A and B are shown apart, each in its own frame.
Chain A
Amino acid sequence: MKEYTAIKELPYYEELDFYKKQKRIVLQNCGLIDPEKIDDYIEKKGYQAAAKAITQMKSKEIIEEVKKSGLRGRGGGGFPTGLKWQFAKDAEGEKKYIVCNADEGDPGAFMDRSLLEGDPHKLLEGMMIAAYAIDADEGYIYVRAEYPLAIRRLKKAISQAEELGLLGENIFGTEFNFKIHIKEGAGAFVCGEETALMASIEGKRGTPTSRPPYPAQSGLWGKPTNINNVETYANIPFIIDNGAEEFNKFGTENSSGTKVFALTGKIKNTGLVEVPMGLSLRDIIYDIGGGITDDKGFKAVQTGGPSGGCIPAEQLDLKIDYDSLKEIGAMMGSGGMVVMDEDTCMVDVARFFLTFTQSESCGKCTPCRLGTKRMLEILERITEGEGKKGDIEKLEQLGKVIKEASLCGLGQTAPNPVLTTIKYFRDEYEAHINDKKCPAGQCDALKGSYVIDEDHCIGCGQCKTVCPADAITGKKQKAHTIDPEACISCGACAEVCPVNAISN
């Protein structure tokens, strides 16, 4: 029958271009199991890694395995996870905590959210193993309040795990006890920073504190604490289950495993992708992402969230891992990837990202509080056509100091979009400042007056009717003209012109 043949021809997931180059370790179950049913997770070998770790392995062995896996923190910093656990394990103290950072504040990022909503038990399992490895008996998940579904599913997952005795006392019949609390964040980006996050859990103002001491020595309520990102913990069951060697098959030498990216912007296939580290930007953008919307030219890609860097076309073949990104002034961050096409103004992009970090600065340290404010003022001036000679140099100097002098990662990275756009698109800044032109035609204040191509104009008069400034003159059936002095560059004429004879 005809219908059946048609269904036979439907491709498998792996055959779709979008999935061909992906490797799903973290997102393995997302979309395939019912996240509200613990049985679904258990059926997919769920909690077997925890059982193995807790009943058959010593804490030292677990830490060794994680170290061997080369897993690095997926929250942005890329610190080796095994080493972090080692510090927490070695720290002296009766009471220790495990914290999961699920604050995910980067605009447009939803990697952690997908996992929390699609496979919450995987996170709990990862945290259990970590708790056992460092001798913690209590854990906190700090999850942003803007994720109500994630919170609901996490709560459900925790109570299901408690019912089965997977959380609570004497887990798997051993001496190991572990309970997990949920703490809802209140919408501050900076509370994703680990010291601010812990202050927030303690009920204090969510501002970062100087390190040392590191959380492993003195974290939550002054106790040794291990804090990792959602995705980091979600990698643990795979590593314990399959061994570090299997994990190491994916990724590059210094960045093993996979990374989930949130692909957005001017790209055909947007969404979450999980790829082995070391894939090139070109692979992600063209093979997985399907290329640029409307087949326009590629201009740049911003990686690492609002404080990441803008990477230009010359770097499309860059193999992405922690170190390669850092080297070119960008960063892995939590995995945001915003693709920009040829119509994007890079000065405006820098202004856009800095607007976010500036308004999220907690205000504690001077360079971040005042430095980002002044940088933003300069960028606003430039995009409004008020740029001055020396502005670029000022931005570079100030950006460098903010990075070097700020207290926490927010300030230390906030200038990145500005510095990288200056580095790779300096000519656009110069055009704005010296020629008072926005090459991409995005900055309203710099749009030139509109002109009518006399050869194409059919004299229909529609433009004349819509012009709010009465800048257009001409007789019916004759070519019209625009008075550049009177034109306010609103573009209304170009929009109505039936023969596309008007441009600026």
Chain B
Amino acid sequence: MKEIIIDGNSYKFDPGQTVLEVARGNDIDIPTLCYSEHLSITGACRMCLVENKENGSLETACTLPARDGLEVETDNDKIYDARKTVLDLILSDHPMTCMTCEANGDCQLQDLAYQFDIEESSYGSKKEDRFELEERNSFIVYDPDKCILCGKCVRADSELQCSDAIEFSERGFKTKVAAAFDEGLGGEDSSCVFCGLCVENCPTAALSYKPARKKGREYELRKQRTTCGYCGVGCQVELNIKGNEVIKVDSVYDDTAPNPDGEMCVKGRFAYGFIDSPDRLKYPLIKKDGEFVESSWDEALDYIADNLSRIRDEHGGREIGALSSARCTNEENYIMQKFMRAVMKTNSVEHCARL
């Protein structure tokens, strides 16, 4: 059996696993910033450094393949110094605005600063913004000054959403993430579909949901998992609610869901405004004397049943047709056509997805 040694203990591993995966699988803590189990691995942030005991070199646990007999240490002075220096450097280029930041309480950088006890970077704080805030669209705000260039947004966009709408631009210290021709996500040449997966993957508040800004932070929000109502796929989503208002919609990560890596479309992510809309229909309406009038469900259903039966009996089923919605499930659509054929005696059934 193949085994690797982590901090003096032997662990079994599956072929293809990295040291980070083996460690995490065994509750050994290794800090990460650019790693995500849903994305390809780049080894960019260098937070996950561990020491390879074969030659004393520091290597990134997220990229280091486990192999038989490999011995690593995940916690010693050298590793701590390197990780803390990396963090210290990131914080030297990060605005110290946690007080008003959207991500306060939900920020991996903040958590690590807490863990490593860095109140302020030893190189001094970032005093002036180096970039312009990017918010020329209705949904997503990008603040490059808060960006730590972990690249998760770029990978999520390219590997999960397959939009390739964003990439790194410039290089070195000037690097930032940008949409085509730096025209913003809503720009003419942008292929962004506003799925929000980039925001979802951002470890800081470099990316945030525009409609949710200033409406509450992580610890104020109640979470409710639900199924997206927009189509029949059945994506799992997480409503974030404050009081009785939906503030934003986060991803759910569940291997059994149809969207296991938190994938969503613009509607599931952003089109929740109807929930609290004053125009929203709450009761059935029946037109009486040319005006819609609120009615009870019983009354409405009776009205439909009576009239459908009457039309069928007086004019025949062929005078009736039905159009169903992609927002219904397969089963509901099935019932609809079955009902129309068997009970209403018509073959005129149609579905909006064919339009």
Contact = CB atoms under 8 A, between A and B. Distances in A.
Contacts of A212: 65
A430 B279 CA distance: 74
Interface string B213-231: 0000000000000000000
Interface stretch (B22-30, B169-177, B264-272, B342-350): B169-177
B85 A405 contact: yes
A489 to B, nearest CB: 29
A431 interface: no
A404 to B, nearest CB: 5
A367 interface: yes
Nearest to A205: B168
Interface stretch (B86-94, B246-254, B303-311): B86-94
Interface in A363-396: 363-367, 369-371, 373-374, 377, 394
A358 B175 CA distance: 13
Contacts of B82: 401, 404-405
Nearest to B149: A363
Contacts of A361: 171-173
Contacts of B148: 366
A264 interface: no
B285 interface: no
Given A366-B90, A370-B93, A405-B85, A359 B44 contact: no
Contacts of B58: 404-405
Contact of A374 (B42, B123, B171, B172): B123
Nearest to B81: A401
Contacts of B86: 366-367, 401, 405
Looking at B82, B90, B148, the one whose CB has the most chain A CB atoms below 10 A away is B82
B60 interface: yes
B45 A365 contact: yes
A379 to B, nearest CB: 13
Contact of A397 (B65, B85, B171): B85
A369 B172 contact: yes
Interface residues on B, range: 35 or more
A366 B85 CA distance: 10
B330 interface: no
Contacts of B41: 210
B57 A374 contact: no
A407 B81 contact: no
A405 B84 CA distance: 11
A369 B173 contact: yes
B197 interface: no
Contacts of A401: 81-82, 85-86
Contacts of B60: 210, 407
Contacts, number: 94
A405 B46 contact: yes
B179 to A, nearest CB: 15
Interface string A203-216: 00101011010000
A154 interface: no
Contacts of B122: 394
A406 interface: yes
B20 to A, nearest CB: 12
Given A358-B172, A363-B168, A363-B173, A370 B90 contact: yes
B206 interface: no
Given A361-B173, A405-B46, A406-B46, A367 B168 contact: no
Given A205-B168, A209-B42, A404 B175 contact: no
Contacts of A370: 89-90, 92-93, 173
A151 interface: no
Given A401-B86, A406-B46, A407-B43, 20 more contacts: A205-B167, A205-B168, A212-B65, A360-B172, A361-B172, A363-B170, A363-B172, A363-B173, A363-B174, A364-B151, A365-B46, A366-B90, A367-B46, A367-B89, A370-B93, A374-B92, A401-B85, A404-B82, A405-B49, A405-B82
Interface of A: 188, 205, 207, 209-210, 212, 358-367, 369-371, 373-374, 377, 394, 397-398, 401, 404-407
5 contacts: A361-B171, A361-B173, A366-B89, A366-B90, A401-B81
Interface of B: 41-47, 49, 57-58, 60, 63, 65, 78, 81-82, 85-86, 89-90, 92-93, 122-123, 148-149, 151, 167-168, 170-175
Smallest CB-CB A-B distances: 10 pairs: A363-B175, A370-B89, A210-B63, A210-B43, A361-B172, A401-B85, A363-B172, A404-B58, A405-B46, A405-B82
